Every structure is written in C-alpha cells, then in structure tokens.
C-alpha cells in the first residue's frame, strides 16, 4: 500500500507546533495536515474514471478526516513529528510507525486512493 496522500500531508507540516505538549496535536498542525491531505487526495481521486467533483470532494474529506482522527488517537505527537522529519529528508516511514500509518490508511479506505495498474 502506498503512503503517498498521507505522507504528502505529513511533509507539509514541518516544524509547526514544536512547543506543544508531548501528545497534543496543535490546531495549526491539524489544519495543515487536512489541507495537504485534501490536496493530495483530490489530485489522486480526480484522475479516476467516473469521479465527479462533488464525489471527489466528499471522498477526500471523509478519508482525510478519518486519517487525522485515527492518527491523533493512535500516534503520539512526538512520533508524528519524528516521522515528519524523516519524510522531509526523503526517508519512508519504517517499522512500527510505518505499520501504524499503513493500518490507519487501510482503516480509512486508503485503497480507494491507490492508482490502478
């Protein structure tokens, strides 16, 4: 499973909210994640046959809201920041973080955002 839409959203977050409590996701981080996820997801979905603009918007919002809420519930903010730093360096998530993110993506219907070969 590709991590592209969620990873693209993580890359957009950089160092925002660095001074927050260890497990708090600051509002600006949530907002930036959602905007980046929506942009990436809409781009992917709009290339799929039969997906009109309203359907793309609805599916992207549902997916991104789901990923964010599950990530906040399951991934400590410290891990999120460290994973984001690795992504900024061009590294893919590995180990437990990758498994957690892949699980969240699968729970939220990430397969719908996969390109068809």
Q: What is the pLDDT of residues 48-58, one digit of tens each?
A: 888 899 999 99
Half-sphere exposure of 101 (CA within 13 A, CB side): 23
12-29, pLDDT tens digit by residue? 444 344 444 446 899 999
Q: Which residues contact 63 (CB under 8 A, 6 or more apart)?
A: 5, 37, 41, 108, 109, 110, 112, 113
60-73, pLDDT tens digit by residue? 999 999 999 999 99
CA separation, residue 107 to residues 29, 50, 66 (Å): 22, 24, 8
Residue predicted with more confidence, 2 or 54 = 54
What's the Rg (C-alpha) of the chain? 14
Instruction: Read off the tokens for 31.
Output: 């907002």
Residue 6 has pLDDT above 70, yes or no: no
């Amino acid at each position: 499973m590709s991590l592209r839409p969620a990873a693209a959203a993580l890359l957009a977050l950089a160092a925002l909210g660095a001074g927050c409590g260890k497990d708090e996701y600051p509002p600006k981080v949530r907002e930036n994640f959602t905007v980046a996820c929506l942009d990436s997801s809409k781009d992917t979905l709009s290339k799929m046959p039969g997906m009109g603009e309203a359907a793309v918007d609805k599916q992207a919002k549902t997916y991104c809201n789901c990923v964010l809420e599950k990530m906040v519930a399951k991934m400590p903010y410290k891990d999120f920041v460290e994973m984001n730093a690795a992504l900024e360096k061009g590294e893919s998530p590995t180990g437990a973080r990758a498994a957690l993110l892949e699980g969240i993506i699968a729970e939220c219907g990430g397969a719908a955002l996969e390109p068809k070969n």
